[in-house]
Amino acid sequence: MKARIRRLILRTAVLGLVAVAVTVGAATTGLAAAVDDGVIKACRHKSGYLLVPSPGKACKKAEQALSWNVKGPAGPAGPAGPAGPVGASGPAGSQGEAGPAGPAGPSGPAGPAGTIGSIESLSGIACTTADETAGTVSVETEVDGAIVLSCEDGTPPPPPGDEAELVINEIDYDQIGADADGFVEITNTGTGTADLTGIAIVFVDGSDGLEYLRKPLSGTLAPGDYLAIPAEAQNGAPDGVALIDTAGGALLDALSYEGAITSAVIDSQSYNLVEGTMLPASVADSNTIAGSLSRLPDGGDTDDAATDWNFTTAMTPGAANVGG
């Protein structure tokens, strides 16, 4: 009976020991002493109970040493969670110095050719003058319909007071008896000196409208000065004379006498030699009375031939017209 009681007490004591171990494990107190590097160590009693040895103690010979890991192997990674909110921006860095410009690339292909809607549309487009200066195109239409294109370099034109103005001022194309000592006179009615380079007096036959004589001029002509050019002009009906700027083809002045010449061909261009109202056929030079056709008053040019021209017996080649 005493032996049975002793075994019962011993069993109770063992049960108490295991129960304490489990309770301590659940409470994470005391059991941590039996855990070494994540491994729990215990002793299995032959009665089937597990005993947790004190720290530094080993299992008895009759007990089986057991151990197991506190944690199992790591499982696979779970799915990624949602992105968190964007964090605040960091401070801006300093801007570095700009590098040198690269070399220019090759020129692209030429674009398609354009079209010109009108001559006037050329006015203002870029051009280069004869002295390699950048300029713009200027379009001018003369009184006879001729169109003059020029490249202006942007230099302001001279003041109006410095412009030259050349006109045909007097002509003697018919003399008493055999024709001789005929002349044509021009004058500068402007206030600037005229450059006569490229200026020519051209005589036109009214029967076919073609040039038959040309007198090139040279030098200069000061304001108010006169220049008489010897020339034997025809005295048919009609005939004419023109003052031409051969460099640009501009008609500076003209006179059609003893009839109208409205289509004179000079340097392949056509010109109208009648200014305003045609000079009446009755106003003509004479082969019986010495005289000439003159602008009266001297140098008067209203662009109307019937108003500006008259026959006078007071010839004044190289001087102002005085009438008479």
Domains of the chain: 28-69 (no CATH), 124-152 (no CATH), 162-312 (2.60.40)
What is the pTM (predicted TM-score) of this model?
A: 0.53
Instruction: Write the DSSP string, 63-96.
Output: SEEEEEESS-PPPPPPPPPPPPPPPPPPPPPPPP
The Cα–Cα gap between 254 and 168 comes to 7
The Cα–Cα gap between 231 and 182 comes to 5
* 3-state secondary structure (DSSP) of residue 168: strand
Question: In this predicted structure, what is the pLDDT of residue 31?
Answer: 53
pLDDT at 245 over 80: yes
Closest CA to 190 of 220, 157, 166: 166
pLDDT at 203 over 90: yes
pLDDT at 142 over 80: no
pLDDT at 314 over 80: yes
DSSP 117: S
Question: In this predicted structure, what is the pLDDT of residue 27?
Answer: 38
At 13, the pLDDT band (50, 70, 90 cuts) reads very low
DSSP 26: H
pLDDT at 135 over 70: yes
- Quote the mean pLDDT of the chain: 83
At 11, the pLDDT band (50, 70, 90 cuts) reads very low
pLDDT at 140 over 60: yes
Question: In this predicted structure, what is the pLDDT of residue 83?
Answer: 87
Structure tokens, 286? 């004479």
Burial of 290-319, coded b for 16+ CB within 10 Å and e otherwise, reads ebbbbbbebbebeeebebbbbebeebbbee
Question: Mean pLDDT over residues 38-66, rounded?
Answer: 78
CB atoms inside a 10 Å sphere around CB 12: 10
Question: In this predicted structure, what is the pLDDT of residue 63?
Answer: 82
pLDDT at 1 over 70: no
Q: Which residues pair with 254 in a beta bridge?
A: 242
pLDDT in tens, 253-305: 999 999 999 999 999 999 999 999 999 999 999 999 999 999 999 999 999 99
Q: Which residue has the higher pLDDT, 102 or 180?
A: 180
Question: In this predicted structure, what is the pLDDT of residue 8?
Answer: 37
Question: In this predicted structure, what is the pLDDT of residue 57?
Answer: 80
The Cα–Cα gap between 261 and 206 comes to 6
pLDDT at 20 over 50: no
Give whichever of 7-21, 68-82, 287-301 has the largest mean pLDDT: 287-301
The Cα–Cα gap between 143 and 211 comes to 20
CB 41 within 8 A of CB 66: yes
CB 285 within 8 A of CB 176: no
Structure tokens, 96? 């570095």
